[in-house]
Amino acid sequence: MTIIEASIVVFLLLVVVFAIIFNFFLMVYFTFFYILGSVFLGAFFASTKQDILEDMILLSDVKPGEKAIDLGSGDGRLVIALAKRGIEAHGYEINPFLVRSSKKNIKDAGLEGKAFIHFGNFWPVNFSEFDVVTVFGISHMMKRLEAKLKKELKPGARVVSNHFVFPNWPHAKKENNVRLYIK
């Protein structure tokens, strides 16, 4: 074997070793942020079942030209479903991997410009421009969210909550475990 051939073999071995090490660290990184990231960044991801998603859409009574926001939008399924009904739909998600997945799902659905996913915390967002708010929250946030929505939403705005209830806001309608609140 010549020096050039030996150099090529060593180079190829280094490339393979680097690729193995890089993929290992990439796997650890994704595992941390996708699985453990929810522990540090927000609520765990629980996909909304199709029948519940349909109940949420039905109760939201969206009309073309309206604007909706999904709080903790996960994989973007609800944002996409809302945008398919002719409205501008926004989602806020704190898990960067779910944001990336949601944006891909929006692109695949051909809804760019109608459906938007924002990476970040929704608490600083002013909800006054939205006609519909959807949420699949967790118990400990509902009292604080209720106060924020009552303060910021315009009259007639609708809030649709999957499973979790607002402690002091009576719902207007209920379908299975989905509740509609009207300001």
pLDDT single digits (tens) 96-106: 889 999 999 99
Give pTM, 2 decimals. 0.76
Do 25 and 103 form a contact (C-beta atoms < 8 A)?
no
In DSSP notation, 121-177 reads -STTS--TT-SEEEE---GGGHHHHHHHHHHHSPTT-EEEEES---SS---SEEETT
Q: Maximum distance among all alpha carbons in the chain?
A: 82
The neighbouring-strand residues paired with 36 are none
Interval 105-126: pLDDT, tens: 999 999 999 999 999 999 999 9
